[in-house]
Amino acid sequence: MTRRQQIETNLTAVRERIETACTAAGRSSDEVTLIVVTKFHPASDIAHLVDLGVTDIGENRDQEAGVKIAELDPATRAALTVHFVGQLQTNKAKNVVAYADCVQSVDRPKLVGALDRAMADRQNPYQKAGGTSETRTKIGVLLQVDLGEGEDAGRGGILPDQVPDLADAVGEREHLTLRGVMAVAPFGLDEAGTAAAFGRLADLAEAVRERHPEATIRSAGMSGDLEIAIASGATHLRVGTAILGSRPDPR
């Protein structure tokens, strides 16, 4: 089997899982965006994905992502929305805004300021390469929420009770648009525990949206728990392993 066939087979299986879960939840699969997380996999895989109709990819390491996105041909890049989903140091903000369309991992005020300044300082060259004369002056951000309430130290995310203030801090920035919330399910939970965690995310997302109407995205669900995320109302899934296979490092 060629690499493309392998990816196609896996992608078809994941799309079927999404359809089945949406049907079970009484939702339309049009409400759910599949983001394929391409970390550790080469730019050639991204080209296959775009060929197979994928519109969104996720990356979690700045240096790797910058090199790979630059390798894509302009038509492939223009067909994609690129999400940055990894922990981000403030001094990398200017790199990330150059190749990403959305930063899903905003979890502290310093990063809000760094991203806003980075956007003020530059325009996105890929938007121009995509053939639009429109120059993007804003970048979409999601707040990453720590649903483990501090137990999963090191994975990033803000505690739930700090979400409203951080949301308002994003809302005040000229070059950022608050698009919603993101979370990774805490480790080691059974299905009911994961469902409860995603339920807490749903409540938070609703509270954020009341004050920030553009914050409609709820990014939750990975290879192992996408059905639970769909049942809890996720709008964006971030799936890596189930489509591209295993990576040298679990995250």
Ligand X SMILES: *Cc1c(COP(=O)(O)O)cnc(C)c1O
Can you give the binding site for ligand X, defined by CB under 6 A?
A: 37, 39, 60, 85-86, 184, 222-224, 238-242, 251
3-state SS of 43-99 is: HHHHHHHHHCCCCEEEECCHHHHHHHHHHCCHHHHHCCEEEECCCCCHHHHHHHHHH
Q: How far is the CB of 219 from ligand X (least distance, A)?
A: 8
Nearer to ligand X among residue 119 and residue 229 (C-beta): 229
Length of the chain: 251
Q: How far is the CB of 226 from ligand X (least distance, A)?
A: 8
Could you tell me if 21 and 233 are in contact, meaning their C-beta atoms sit under 8 angstroms apart? no
Nearer to ligand X among residue 60 and residue 194 (C-beta): 60
Task: In whole angstroms, give the CA distance from residue 145 to residue 138.
Answer: 22
Nearer to ligand X among residue 15 and residue 136 (C-beta): 15
Question: Residue written as tokens 């979370």?
Answer: 183
Q: How far is the CB of 237 from ligand X (least distance, A)?
A: 9
Closest residue to ligand X, based on beta-carbon distance: 240
Task: In whole angstroms, give the CA distance from residue 47 to residue 57.
Answer: 11
Nearer to ligand X among residue 175 and residue 200 (C-beta): 200
Q: How far is the CB of 130 from ligand X (least distance, A)?
A: 25
